[in-house]
Structure 1
Amino acid sequence: MKYIVVLGDGMADEPIEELGGKTPLEYADTPNMDRVAREGSCGLLRTVKDVYEPGSDVANLSVLGYDPGTCYTGRGPLEAASMGIDLAPTDYAYRFNLVTVRRGVMEDFNAGHITSQEGAALIASLQGKVPGVEFHPGISYRNLMVVHGAKGSVTTPPHDIVGQETAPHLPDGPDAPLLSRCMEAATAAFADHPVNRARIAAGKLPATTIWPWSGGKRPSIPAFHERWGLSGGMISAVDLLNGIARYAGMEVIQVPGATGFLDTDYAAKARYALEAIERLDFVYVHVEAPDEAGHMGSVEEKVRAIEGVDGIVGTILDHFDGTVAVLPDHPTPIRLKTHTRDPVPFAIRGRARDGTAVYSEREAANGAFGLVEGPDFLSLLFGKKPFEQKE
């Protein structure tokens, strides 16, 4: 048996008045996801327990069969793995965003979706400014810093505080003074930087500083093949997902045109998934666009992104006879512009039909699978439990 999972990040939502009381999933034209539901069975998946912040890190670990309680240390070290950064035992890796903070308010958590080239130039101006800290440019606003000899800190994701004053949400804990110095150094370095001057002249938001969050040490994640006896591959434009894959020993499949934003090449992701499943047993196709639209609070873009995900599913269904599953990792409601930990709808084609007609939050709640805990999803998909891990 072979398996393809298509995950639309943040795809689940709430009923929206301007959509006639429908969710974006219910409103969007999704004949292919509906087909997965109609030809299989549905349920709800609890991907984030109450003890965790509802993020893509914990949620995707859960969907991939891992208990975050045993292997999650933070988002930073997962992204470090994707970037090829080897962490020493005493290192902490923090994700940091390039952000727009003005008059003490988090105006934008991604600095107007600044480009990777612009971000790299800004980050270059930080190198050597704070002893014991390495700054690594990533993709767009998503970047990484490594703090040597760190102890950890309590941080807040910047996308959770858009429109709010930043002072109550600054880092707290042992690393807080150092992280604050990094933010101050960025504020000074970016203030009159050529990149920001050009962005302002073009009517774009400047990156006024950095915002560190979700730090952690190198985790220990059991190999996917050893747990399931299956070879696995990851398709994603996001360092977080590729980092999880690298720790799990999965193949990281690079797709030209995959951007991690609304302009991603959906068709290319489908083509590369079909090529990969020829040599692999399991392919995980992650699409970031619905989550980005949710953070933007754009109903129109979220519907469009969901329909893009549906196109991926359609191409796969047309050319692949194995088991296909579709789901989000967490909701990113338009109303809130951030993640929630509500259970998400999933559908699996390749199991007995349960009579579900369409794929949506409400329909899945009545599916035959009922409510399933996140780390049990792959057991359900594969029809077996993971192999016992050796101590």
Structure 2
Amino acid sequence: MDAISPGVVPGSDTAHLAILGGDPYNDYPGRGPFEALGAGIELEEGDIAFRANFATVDRDWTILDRRARRSGSRELAEALGMEIDGVRFIVKHTTEHRCALVMRGRGLSSAISDVDPHGPGRVLESKPLDESEEARRTADLLNKFVKRSYEILSEYQTPANILLTRGAGMFRRVPSLKERYGFRSFCVAGSALYKGVAKFLGMDVIEVEGATGSVDTDLGAKADALLSRIEGYDLGFVHVKAADSRGHDGDWEGKKVFIERIDEELIGKLIGLDGYIILTADHSTPVSIRRHSGDPVPVLIHGEGVRVDRVERFDEVSCGEGGLGRIRGVDLMPIIADYMGYYRMYGV
């Protein structure tokens, strides 16, 4: 399966949007709204949302550490809530050094550049990306906020003394998974991004103790959460992150061990479930290149009425010869809907 299209390297956000039934080209609002929704912020139409990092800079705003203050950041985030020229700024800590930032008010635009330089150097000044008054005003307000974040955080005895923002996106509502396919659905995940994509598509998010989004995540607790709630829903989505992280680290052995844990602690509990089991990935992260690639990922669908093919190994090469052929991410949910009896005959 190609999450977006053959050869297109997917981000985790666009890939999940496609796989979970959205349109990655027309529905994608930018990364910021997903992070904000996943952090638990209730967004309103027209909100501008960002990803943000706590960082350390010197007096000239040269970045010393883009990922500062990995613990105790909740208090710092709350200290940054403010209003500037009639626009409200909402900051919510997610994990480690990460936050979500939301600008709420009239006359805003997401057509602005990042403050975060994404590497060494000085903090950037946000600039409008078009000639609209809304973009100019939004960039100006964001720059004022970043300056205030430096002034406020510098009063704390912590390494973090500024908030760096990136990935501006304007929130707008799109048809939910239930409106598109009729599914009552829920999500179990540890990271804010995946919770945010799920909320964006109208899925309920189940908070599970021990679901960390890291290698120490409690896979068994995720399986138990799915099994205990699936009777009240049509579709349950469980996300597991750490195999991807091991790919980014170039740690093939750690990736292998974690996949074996998924088999034993998560999949092992689902075998025998009365329904359909779909197992796939949002993208490939080869340890050889330590980043996402445009390679297709394997897909498995198990359940009553599913055509059985001759594939006996679940890997990228073997599944290329499977009965599903080579599909796109946007094809997966209609296939699932058809098996579950939620089909809509085309042309009638």
Question: Is TM more than 0.5 here?
Answer: yes
Structure 1 residues 295 and 99: alpha-carbon distance in aligned structure 2, compared to 1, 3 A threshold: farther
C-alpha deviations, 1:286-315, integer Å up to 9, x for none?
112223333444334333332232231121
Structure 2 spans left out of the alignment, 5+ residues: 130-134
Corresponding residue of 1:364: 319
Matched, 1:146 2:118: no
How far apart in 2 are the matches of 1:123 and 1:46?
37
1:165 Cα deviation from its structure 2 partner:
3.2
Q: Is the 8 A contact 1:77 1:219 kept in 2?
A: no
Corresponding residue of 2:53: 97
Corresponding residue of 1:345: 298
Q: Is the 8 A contact 1:72 1:219 kept in 2?
A: no
What's the TM-score, normalizing by structure 2?
0.79
Deviation larger for 89-98 or 277-286: 89-98
How far apart in 1 are the matches of 2:142 and 2:285?
28
**Is the partner of 1:69 in helix, strand or coil?**
coil
Corresponding residue of 1:126: 80
1:258 Cα deviation from its structure 2 partner:
0.6
Using CA pairs below 8 Å that are at least 6 residues apart, which structure has the higher relative contact order? 1
How far apart in 1 are the matches of 2:139 and 2:256?
39
CA RMSD, 1 decimal: 3.4
Corresponding residue of 2:221: 268
Matched, 1:316 2:316: no
Letter of the 1:377 counterpart: L
1:374 Cα deviation from its structure 2 partner:
1.1
Deviation larger for 359-368 or 302-311: 302-311
Corresponding residue of 1:33: none
How far apart in 1 are the matches of 2:142 and 2:221?
39
Structure 1 residues 96 and 121: alpha-carbon distance in aligned structure 2, compared to 1, 3 A threshold: same
Structure 1 residues 88 and 281: alpha-carbon distance in aligned structure 2, compared to 1, 3 A threshold: closer
Corresponding residue of 1:78: 34
Corresponding residue of 2:280: 327
How far apart in 2 are the matches of 1:341 and 1:221?
27
1:57 Cα deviation from its structure 2 partner:
1.6
1:334 Cα deviation from its structure 2 partner:
3.3
Corresponding residue of 2:91: 135
1:137 Cα deviation from its structure 2 partner:
2.3
C-alpha deviations, 1:59-79, integer Å up to 9, x for none?
111001211223221222233
Structure 1 residues 208 and 298: alpha-carbon distance in aligned structure 2, compared to 1, 3 A threshold: farther
Q: Give runs of aligned pairs for residues 109-258 of structure 1, distance below 5 A.
A: 110-111=67-68, 114-115=70-71, 118-128=72-82, 132=87, 133-148=89-104, 149-153=107-111, 161=118, 164-166=119-121, 172=127, 173=129, 174=135, 175-191=138-154, 193-196=156-159, 207=160, 209-258=162-211
Q: Give runs of aligned pairs for residues 35-114 of structure 1, distance below 5 A.
A: 45-49=1-5, 54-99=10-55, 110-111=67-68, 114=70
Q: Give runs of aligned pairs for residues 20-35 of structure 1, distance below 5 A.
A: none
Structure 1 residues 214 and 244: alpha-carbon distance in aligned structure 2, compared to 1, 3 A threshold: same
How far apart in 2 are the matches of 1:244 and 1:278?
23
How far apart in 2 are the matches of 1:275 and 1:107?
42
C-alpha deviations, 1:25-48, integer Å up to 9, x for none?
xxxxxxxxxxxxxxxxxxxx1213
C-alpha deviations, 1:46-95, integer Å up to 9, x for none?
21359987322211110012112232212222333344434344421112
1:339 Cα deviation from its structure 2 partner:
3.0
1:327 Cα deviation from its structure 2 partner:
1.1
1:194 Cα deviation from its structure 2 partner:
2.5
Corresponding residue of 1:28: none
Letter of the 1:165 counterpart: P
Q: Is the 8 A contact 1:237 1:258 kept in 2?
A: yes
How far apart in 1 are the matches of 2:149 and 2:287?
31
What's the TM-score, normalizing by structure 1?
0.71
Structure 1 spans left out of the alignment, 5+ residues: 1-44, 197-206
C-alpha deviations, 1:135-171, integer Å up to 9, x for none?
222333332111234211455797x95xx43569875
Structure 1 residues 303 and 195: alpha-carbon distance in aligned structure 2, compared to 1, 3 A threshold: farther
Aligned residues: 326
**Is the partner of 1:383 in helix, strand or coil?**
helix
How far apart in 1 are the matches of 2:246 and 2:324?
29
Corresponding residue of 1:377: 332
**Is the partner of 2:207 in helix, strand or coil?**
coil
Corresponding residue of 2:132: none
Q: Is the 8 A contact 1:93 1:144 kept in 2?
A: yes
How far apart in 1 are the matches of 2:8 and 2:193?
17
Q: Give runs of aligned pairs for residues 284-295 of structure 1, distance below 5 A.
A: 284-295=237-248
